[in-house]
A and B are shown apart, each in its own frame.
Chain A
Amino acid sequence: AQSVTQLDSHVSVSEGTPVLLRCNYSSSYSPSLFWYVQHPNKGLQLLLKYTSAATLVKGINGFEAEFKKSETSFHLTKPSAHMSDAAEYFCVPPRRDSGAGSYQLTFGKGTKLSVIP
């Protein structure tokens, strides 16, 4: 089954500098991978998703991620951080439920991004 490791629990950047949130996946077979964002006291929102169609995926709010098989990585990047990017970010693989045969999302602890003015 696919699993992921978010290498940093907390990342702090200055406003206007690049953002890099790291995610490594475990399986060579990766039907899809997602990045979700959770702003303080809010629900989660899809940032972008990889579904095998293209390795470079562009998401909302200027974020993008590249699926790299050679490095088993799906890192999230943004050229210039904005104060509104301060949030928790989750790299999420779907997991197949053996009972119903459907896929569910499994959320780990995530990476908290702080943006310094």
Chain B
Amino acid sequence: NAGVTQTPKFRILKIGQSMTLQCAQDMNHNYMYWYRQDPGMGLKLIYYSVGAGITDKGEVPNGYNVSRSTTEDFPLRLELAAPSQTSVYFCASSPQGALGNTIYFGEGSWLTVV
């Protein structure tokens, strides 16, 4: 029972580099989300998707891009990495929106930008 799978678990990036965080879910969920969590803080929504081909911005989308070509996958792309993007990134999914529905989280991806 895989649930939500994120890769890589840990990554160190240099300033200005780009990378993609991968996220896959095997529960056939329509909704997928990317959050970031800074030390000692709650989670902030970066982007979300309500289905294949549909994405929308969350609270903190600047510096990130997403795509949703399939129901299963929701990669998060960081272009021109900056130290402010050092954070823990969580991918999540839910059958429908957050009203009354459980959101399932991945284990997180720790990203350090130096």
Residues of A participating in the B interface, judged by any CB pair closer than 8 Å: 31-32, 41-46, 49, 51, 90, 94-95, 97, 99-100, 102-110
Query: Given A31-B99, A99-B56, are A110 and B42 neighbors across the interface (CB < 8 Å)?
Result: yes
17 A-B pairs with CB atoms under 8 Å apart are A41-B108, A43-B4, A43-B92, A43-B108, A44-B92, A49-B102, A51-B100, A94-B100, A95-B98, A99-B57, A102-B50, A102-B97, A104-B33, A104-B45, A104-B48, A104-B98, A105-B103
Contact present for B100 and A42 (CB under 8 Å): no
For residue A57, give the distance in angstroms from its CB to the closest CB of chain B.
Answer: 12
Per DSSP, chain A at the interface is: loop
Contact present for B97 and A42 (CB under 8 Å): no
Contact present for B100 and A49 (CB under 8 Å): yes
Query: Given A41-B108, A43-B90, A45-B105, are A90 and B99 neighbors across the interface (CB < 8 Å)?
Result: no
Q: With the chains together, A44 CA to B57 CA distance in Å?
A: 21
Contact present for B42 and A43 (CB under 8 Å): no
Q: With the chains together, A108 CA to B44 CA distance in Å?
A: 9
B33 nearest CB neighbor, chain A only: A104
| Interface-central residue, B50, B58, B98, by most chain A CB under 10 Å | B98
Neighbouring B residues of A95 by C-beta, 8 Å = 98
Q: With the chains together, A100 CA to B99 CA distance in Å?
A: 14
